[in-house]
Amino acid sequence: MKIKTLMASAAITASAWTAAAAQDATFYYDKNGWDEGFAALIEGASEASGLDIAGQQLTPTDRYQAYVMSSIAGGAAPAIFTWWNGKQLDSLVETGEIADLTELWDEAIANGWFSEAERELFSVDGTPYAIPLNVARWPVLYNKDAFAAAGIDAPPATWDELLADADALKEAGYIPFNAPAVGGWMGFIWFSELMVRTDPDAFVGLTDGTVPYNGPEVQRAMEIWTDFYERGYFTDAREQDETRFMVNEEAAMYLIGEWTAGILANRGMEPGEKIGAFLMPPVDAETENTVIVEAAPIVFSADAMEEMPALMDAARYLMSPEAGNALGQANGIYSGNLMTDAPNAIVSDVNAIIAEDAPRSVVRWWEAVPPELQGDLVSQMNAFMLDPTAENAQRVMDDMQSLNESYWAFQ
């Protein structure tokens, strides 16, 4: 089988499109730093199905989304592509172009690969329309050497300890948190985290229109975010290499999906040895402990499934423990398959934290918010990161609420 992975950063060249079109099927994705893992998945899926499958990376994320949706609108949905769950998957299914994968999930659950709870993450109205690429929690990754240099013996268990540790890291010459705003999507990370650390119910309310983006709950989160910038806790948001400050050890902590551990490992920061993980504590002791969960789906075109029945064999492989272990070994990413090994010490550590603390799980903002609002709202959050003042914070909140009101008024 011929396996070909084609990369594109912002625009796709004519030659790349021609090469991709020459294959039986093309697997589209937007994940930076996952190239080795996707190559392994594509090779395995090709061998399992007998199809000639190519890989096509399209970035940044907003252009990727635009390409996929315009392709579907034009009646040419990609055969295989990654997406997002929650309301993002709901909107995709509404097009009628996405394959029903009930049969595949029935097999996978019978095999003990996945649970019914995981099936629900990839379902719309009880029907599964996607399979897992990865299931990830969002902890804080930290540099163990930096913590030791700052005299920090253990990760913070309270908000006051978090602030004290950040100050100690600054005193030791580190920037406490790596916080980039690249790729058109990263602005929601700290916004979401500060919402769940102050009021997780309000965080959920933001995604269904019951809580305003300029209300007191958001005001408090934005005040903390602004204060962190004033304290000098964050790296320069304009940095285009999202892991550079961690890899060169200028920054000590990174709030991000646990899948980033594999990217850091490939850049010389070994999980468990160089980096550890903890869940950020709530601001107030009485606030419910919460973890943000991201489930990244792989979806299939209904037409492609009908035209190429062997594509089901590719999907079956992509759900298998073999595929999960291949992705884990290549990029340290956890597929959620219950029969796979934990790909690195970070996943093992987070599994242990979840088992001990039993935090509430909430769907990540990116997947939970209506897709019609997603891009405009995250652009506002990105804009705050580039001008993190109290005055701009108020403008951003008011602008987000104006967008929010306009959308929900017609629902």
Q: For 288-340, what is each residue's pLDDT tens digit?
A: 999 999 999 999 999 999 999 999 999 999 999 999 999 999 998 999 998 99
**pLDDT value at position 22?**
53
**pLDDT value at position 32?**
86
Length of the chain: 411
Average pLDDT for 231-239: 97
Average pLDDT taken over every residue of the chain: 93
- Alpha-carbon distance of 75 to 68, in angstroms, equals 11
Rounded to 5 degrees, φ, ψ at 339 are -100, 0
pLDDT band per the 50, 70, 90 thresholds, residue 13 = very low
Count the Cβ atoms, other than its own, within 10 Å of residue 131: 24
Query: 295 forms bridges with which residues in the sheet?
Result: 135
Identical topology for domains 4-135+295-348 and 140-292+359-408: yes
**Which tokens in the block code for residue 341?**
């090994």
Tell how strand 290-300 and strand 360-363 pair up. parallel
Q: For 17-60, what is each residue's pLDDT tens digit?
A: 333 445 899 999 999 889 999 999 999 999 999 999 999 999 99
Burial letters for 314-327: b for 16+ Cβ neighbours within 10 Å, e otherwise? bbbbbbbbbbbbbb
Does the structure show a pLDDT above 60 at 252? yes
Residue with tokens 């029903």: 100
Q: For residue 14, give every residue at least 6 positions away whose Cβ sits within 8 Å of its Cβ, in sequence order, or none.
A: none
**pLDDT value at position 20?**
41
Q: For 182-227, what is each residue's pLDDT tens digit?
A: 988 999 999 999 999 999 999 999 999 999 999 999 999 999 999 9
Does the structure show a pLDDT above 90 at 74? yes
Q: For 117-154, what is each residue's pLDDT tens digit?
A: 889 899 999 999 999 999 999 999 999 999 999 999 99
Q: Cis omega (within 30 of 0) on the bond before 60? A: yes
Q: What is the pTM of this model?
A: 0.84
**pLDDT value at position 183?**
85
**CA dist list (Å): 307 to 24, 70, 219, 303:** 11, 21, 52, 6
Query: 142 forms bridges with which residues in the sheet?
Result: 253, 276
- Alpha-carbon distance of 178 to 376, in angstroms, equals 24
Task: For the chain, give the secondary structure using H, E and C.
Answer: CCCEEECCCCCCCHHHHHHHHCCCEEEEECCCCCHHHHHHHHHHHHHHHCCCEEEEECCCHHHHHHHHHHHHHCCCCCCEEECCCCHHHHHHHCCCCECCCHHHHHHHHHCCCCCHHHHHHCEECCEECCEEEEEEECCEEEEHHHHHHCCCCCCCCCHHHHHHHHHHHHHCCCEEEECCCCCCCCCHHHHHHHHHHHCHHHHHHHHHCCCCCCCHHHHHHHHHHHHHHHCCCECCCCCCCCCHHHHCCCEEEEECCCCHHHHHHHCCCCECCCEEEECCCCCCCCCCCEEEEEEEEEEEEHHHHHHCCCHHHHHHHHCCHHHHHHHHHHHCCCCCCCCCCCCCHHHHHHHHHHHHHCCEEEECHHHHCCHHHHHHHHHHHHHHHHCCCHHHHHHHHHHHHHHHHHHHCCC
Average pLDDT for 88-103: 96
**pLDDT value at position 146?**
98
- The CATH superfamily label for domain 140-292+359-408 reads Periplasmic binding protein-like II (3.40.190.10)
Q: For 369-396, what is each residue's pLDDT tens digit?
A: 999 999 999 999 999 999 999 999 999 9
Residue whose C-alpha is closest to residue 134's, from 386, 409, 332, 267: 332
Residue with tokens 């790909």: 343
Does the structure show a pLDDT above 50 at 11? no
**Which tokens in the block code for residue 51?**
């199809």
Q: For 345-368, what is each residue's pLDDT tens digit?
A: 999 999 999 889 989 999 999 999
Supply angle C-alpha 363, 84, 103, rounded to 5.
Answer: 100
Domain residue spans of the chain: 4-135+295-348, 140-292+359-408
Average pLDDT for 159-163: 98
Amino acid at site 373: L
**In CATH, what class is 4-135+295-348?**
alpha beta
Classify 110 in phi/psi space as left (phi over 0), alpha (psi -120 to 50) or beta: alpha
**pLDDT value at position 232?**
98
